[in-house]
Chain A
Amino acid sequence: DIVMTQTPLSLSVTPGQPASISCKSSQSLLHSDGKTYLYWYLQKPGQSPQLLIYEVSSRFSGVPDRFSGSGSGTDFTLKISRVEAEDVGVYYCMQGIHLPPTFGPGTKVDIK
């Protein structure tokens, strides 16, 4: 199975400040079809995970543009340009190139 790692595992951010989460995979997530199957999810407290970013950098429907994704191959980053109180929760990266899909351990983001 592909192993996903994330750093940091926790992050405390002042509202209005930027935040960045790194995700690394044990194998390249670049498929022969040219797409890279890396996703970001946010699980707010007491809620189900919600899709934020698909295929490295595309925002899912309704996701604010303060969220952006970047990266290639095995190294990826989620950035929040200006953190808001509603952004608290656990952020997971996930790979979808090979079965089984595997998630990173999660990065817990809270507000200072």
Chain B
Amino acid sequence: QVQLVQSGAEVKKPGASVKVSCKASGYTFTSYGISWVRQAPGQGLEWMGWISAYNGNTNYAQKLQGRVTMTTDTSTSTAYMELRSLRSDDTAVYYCARVTWTGRSFDYWGQGTLVTVSS
């Protein structure tokens, strides 16, 4: 069965960076993309960007351009999301999700990683 298992919760200070991992199993990793979606406390869902696990092509949300980098390691079927220059409003649960074959939505999601940014 398809599973996406994310790394554990993080606490960071403003200005620091965080790198969240997402290990995939149960399918051919390079056949699908991975998107990252975040959810601030008590808020809705915000798409951050996506990466093709096939060729590494990326597309980032405009508001995060320059602060976010998404990568994959095909040898371990793991996707990574790094967010730099953290601010308090980056406090959120970060989800990875498998992009469907149409490239238009997300079918399986990780369990989420809480990133807290606090001085």
- Measured CB to CB, the residues of A under 8 A from B are 35, 37, 39, 41, 48-51, 54, 60, 92, 94, 96-97, 99-106
**Contact present for A48 and B59 (CB under 8 Å):** no
A102 to B48, CA, bound (A): 10
B-side interface size class = 20 to 34
Residues from chain B with Cβ under 8 Å of A35 in the complex: 102
Tell me whether B104 and A97 are in contact (CB under 8 A).
yes
Which B residues have a C-beta under 8 Å from some C-beta of A?
A: 35, 37, 44-47, 59, 61-62, 95, 97, 100, 102, 104-112
CB nearest neighbor in A for B103: A96
* A/B pair count, beta carbons within 8 Å: 52
> How far apart are the CA atoms of A101 and B112 in the complex, in Å?
19
How far is A97 from B59 in the complex, measured between Cα atoms in Å? 15
B106 touches A51 (CB 8 A): yes
